[in-house]
Amino acid sequence: MQRVPAAGHNRVVMRISDLRAAAVGRLRACLVQGISPRRLAFTVSIGFVLGCIPVVGVPTALCVVLALVLRLNQPAIQAANYAAMPFQVALIIPFARLGGKLTPAGWQPALNLTTLASALIHSPARMMLHSSASFLGQLGLFALQALVAWLLLAIPVVLLLTLALTKVFRRVPALATVPTAD
């Protein structure tokens, strides 16, 4: 049995613009499958704020669980979560500093960032071997302080983002025709 090449078979290479158009079309179809602008704005807001949690590795699982519980759009919440990753990394230290100011004096001090940076640059192995329990305890306290600050800011940010994004999404033609009864 011999295979006969189809007409135009030598033109296998797709143009990048064709791939981009196909990807955008499929993503748009996933995002707007009957979801109202307000619901999509809420989903994106939740995904973005969860993506900024100052504990690396936690946001993706939280987004999956919350989207299942609240019946939110999984592709939209995960896209917002991944878009927030640079902010997550950039906000860890500011969240920890704010959390340090908000927590009781008995929780002080968390990691001294100058000392930590110096120890990590000069002798990270010695620091971990010499006082790994102390280091891990301080790291846990640092994360807890950052989480306190994030918790304080999360709800107002979700509300503000939802309001702003609802206005933006109502201007998107594909979303404007969806009923807003949710």
State what percent of residues in the chain have pLDDT above 70: 62
Other CB atoms within 10 Å distance of the CB of residue 109: 12
Which percentage of the chain shows pLDDT scores above 90?
Answer: 37
pLDDT digits (tens, 9 = 90+) for 103-133: 876 566 555 666 666 666 666 666 666 666 6
Specify the pLDDT at position 109: 56
- Among 24-38, 108-122, 127-141, whose mean pLDDT is lowest? 108-122
CA distance 166 to 48: 15
- Tell me the per-residue pLDDT of 46-97, one tens digit each, with 9 for 90 and over: 999 999 999 888 999 999 999 999 999 998 999 999 999 999 999 988 998 8
- Evaluate if pTM is beyond 0.75: no
Within 8 A by CB and 6+ apart from 127, the residues are 119, 120, 135
Alpha helices in 3-123 (DSSP H): 16-31, 37-51, 59-70, 74-83, 85-102, 113-122
Q: Residue 8 — very low, low, confident or very high, per pLDDT cuts 50/70/90?
A: low
- Residue 137 pLDDT level (bands cut at 50, 70, 90): confident
Distances (CA, A) of 116 to 8, 93, 126, 150: 62, 12, 12, 22
For residue 149, the tally of other CB atoms under 10 A from its CB is 21
Query: Is the predicted pLDDT of residue 163 greater than 90, yes or no?
Result: yes
Alpha-carbon distances of 179 from 20, 31, 140, rounded to whole Å:
29, 15, 46
Q: Does position 26 have pLDDT exceeding 80, yes or no?
A: no
Torsion from C-alpha of 62, 66, 69, 72, nearest 10 degrees: -140
Residues 47-58 have pLDDT tens digits of: 999 999 998 889
Decide: 52 and 88 in contact? Cβ < 8 Å.
yes
